[in-house]
Amino acid sequence: MIFYFNAAGLAVGSVPTRVFQGSNKASEIIFACPTDKSNVVEVAFTLANGKSTPCFLMDSIKSVGGVFDNEGEEFNFWKFSLLSNITYACGPVNVQFFVNNATGERLATATCSFMVEKGVIAEEPEKTDTWEQVVSKLALLNDVGDLIAKKESIDEIVANFSQIQNAFPRLIALAESASKAVAYDNYEECVNAFLVADATEYKIGQSVYIKELHVPDLWVFSIESNFENSNFSGTPEILARLDTEGFIRVGYYKLSKLETLKVDLSNYVMKSEIDVIDNADGTATLVLNVGA
- Please give the class, per CATH, of domain 2-117: mainly beta
Model confidence over 182-223: pLDDT tens digits? 899 999 999 999 999 999 999 888 889 998 888 999 999 899
Model confidence over 214-228: pLDDT tens digits? 899 999 989 999 999
Decide: 31 and 78 in contact? Cβ < 8 Å.
Answer: yes
Model confidence over 235-291: pLDDT tens digits? 999 999 999 999 999 999 999 998 766 666 565 566 666 677 777 777 777 666 655
pLDDT score, position 262: 67
pLDDT score, position 160: 66
β-pair partners for 113: 94
Model confidence over 28-38: pLDDT tens digits? 999 999 888 88
Give the predicted TM-score (pTM) of the model: 0.42
pLDDT at 177 over 70: no
pLDDT score, position 54: 93
- For the chain, what are the domain ranges? 2-117, 178-278
Q: What is the mean pLDDT of the chain?
A: 81
Model confidence over 36-68: pLDDT tens digits? 888 999 999 999 999 999 999 999 987 666 677
b/e map 180-219, b = 16+ CB within 10 Å: eeebbeebeebbebbbeeeeeebebbbbbbbbbeebbbbb
Model confidence over 107-130: pLDDT tens digits? 999 999 999 998 876 555 555 555
Phi, psi of 267 (to 5 degrees): -95, 0
pLDDT score, position 46: 95
Give the type of residue at 14. S
pLDDT score, position 56: 95
pLDDT score, position 166: 62
Q: What Rg do the C-alpha atoms of the chain give, in angstroms?
A: 47
Neighbours of 58 (CB within 10 A): 21
pLDDT score, position 99: 95
pLDDT score, position 68: 73
Model confidence over 121-170: pLDDT tens digits? 655 555 555 556 666 665 665 555 565 566 666 667 667 666 665 655 55
- Please give the sequence-ordered ranges of beta strands (E in DSSP) within the chain, or none if there are none: 2-5, 11-15, 19-20, 28-33, 40-46, 56-57, 59-61, 76-81, 91-100, 106-108, 112-117, 182-184, 207-210, 218-228, 248-257, 274-278, 284-288
pLDDT at 173 over 60: no
